[in-house]
Amino acid sequence: LQKILILLQVTLSVVVGKTLMILFPNAMKRYILKMGEKSRMNRNPRFSYENWGPTFFSFKYLQFVLKVKWKRLEDEAYEGHPAPNTPVVTLGGEVCHLLDFMKDNRPLILNFGSCT
């Protein structure tokens, strides 16, 4: 049921977004660039809007968002239950799972930070 609701929500947002891109291309470009400022995406000079902007609200965009949102359904943690074994990417680009880092009976400590 959750996957169906996510499918409906994402599909509706893609249809509305695509329609707005067709009807109001300049306004949507400004909106998408404004969203890019929040994520600091616009700071990379080699990452121009013309390369990625038109891909918003495409079928591939729909597929990607659905894949991510459906995968996140498995990542929920509940008190008293085992931790989710979420996928993680090492600095070397290797995809593994969080619990792969467990060693014997030692606790696994996660330290979240920011490097800028």
- Is 22 a member of any domain? yes
Q: Is residue 99 part of a domain?
A: no
The domain of 23 spans 1-74
In a domain, 80, yes or no: no
Provide the Cα torsion 8, 11, 15, 18; round to 10°: 150
Instruction: Indicate whether 85 belongs to any domain.
Output: no
Domain count, the chain: 1
**pTM higher than the cut 0.85:** no
Asked whether 98 and 109 are in contact (CB, 8 A), the reply is no
Burial 61-72 (b: 16+ CB within 10 A, else e): ebeebbeeeeee
For residue 32, tell me if it sits in a domain: yes
**Burial degree of 57 (CB within 10 A; 0-12, 13-18, 19+):** buried
Which residues lie across from 88 on neighbouring strands?
96
The answer to whether residue 61 sits within a structural domain is yes
Q: Residue 21 — φ and ψ, nearest 5°?
A: -65, -35
Alpha carbon of residue 32 to chain centroid = 16
Per-residue pLDDT tens over the stretch 18-74: 999 999 999 988 888 887 777 776 677 777 778 777 888 899 989 999 988 888 777
Instruction: Say yes or no to pLDDT of 110 above 60.
Output: yes
Does a structural domain hold residue 96?
no
Residue 19 domain flag: yes
